Amino acid sequence: MNVVSGIAGLVMGLVLGIFGSGGSIITTPALIYLAHLPPKSAIATSLGVIAITAAVATFQQWRRQNVDFKITAIFSLFSVSGAYLGTRLGVGLTVVTQLVIFACAMYAAAFKMLRPAPIHRSVGAAAVEPTPAAVSPSLIRVCLIAVAVGVLAGLVGVGGGFLIVPSLVLLCGLSIRQAIGTSVAIVTLNSTSGFLGYAGHVPIDYPLVGAFALLAIGGSVVGTRLAHRLSAEHLKRIFGVFLVLAASAILFKNLL
């Protein structure tokens, strides 16, 4: 692994720690274009790296009481099944098709996160962070979305956090901080399931998985600390803009 791909590993962990997602947006291209892995192997390796890094990030978020284990269990039960199905589908698709699907889903998630939030009260000169509205989502709807997130996660080699975070905020009524913490727990399980789905079907460089994950873990520790210095609304806006930029870069790279 060269210096540039090592820096990409650090940045991947930083992004995962701040947003609870997005690591694969950096990891998969880095493994393809910097570490020179075949695309299918890069997708599988990316899932392994994300699984390890997200597990460490989950522990950090748990210590800050940002992980809702009940929602994690319900969401993961269905999304993990979807992730395994997605890997079976992904083995037979072209890489360009996989990445275009990935980018379109990111645009949809960004639209949801960038919609203007309800105006909240100010007390004196300080603004009070909006409290998530009470949400009573249909259990069936949440389960279907969990399966869809899982399928996409396995299909394009991602943890699925860029869709999980908006889903937890908009459907389950979690705050953005709780959504990020719970997301990394779900991402851990999704990525592990997806990685196991690819293992044995495509070549995987296990030493590279370990080396990349080690660097990413360092970045995730810093990212988690930075996330707690930002307001909830700033996190949502930054997250949304990040999705738009990343999706545009993927489409530009693969279609032009």
- Give the whole-number percent of the chain exceeding pLDDT 70: 79
The separation between CA 50 and the C-alpha centre of its own chain, rounded to angstroms, equals: 9
- Give the per-residue pLDDT at 120: 42
- Give the per-residue pLDDT at 134: 43
Residues of the chain with pLDDT under 50: 119-136
- Give the per-residue pLDDT at 67: 92
- Give the per-residue pLDDT at 49: 87
- Give the per-residue pLDDT at 80: 79
Cβ atoms of residues 9 and 215 within 8 Å: yes
Q: Which residues, listed in sequence order, are joined to residue 123 by a DSSP beta bridge?
A: 126
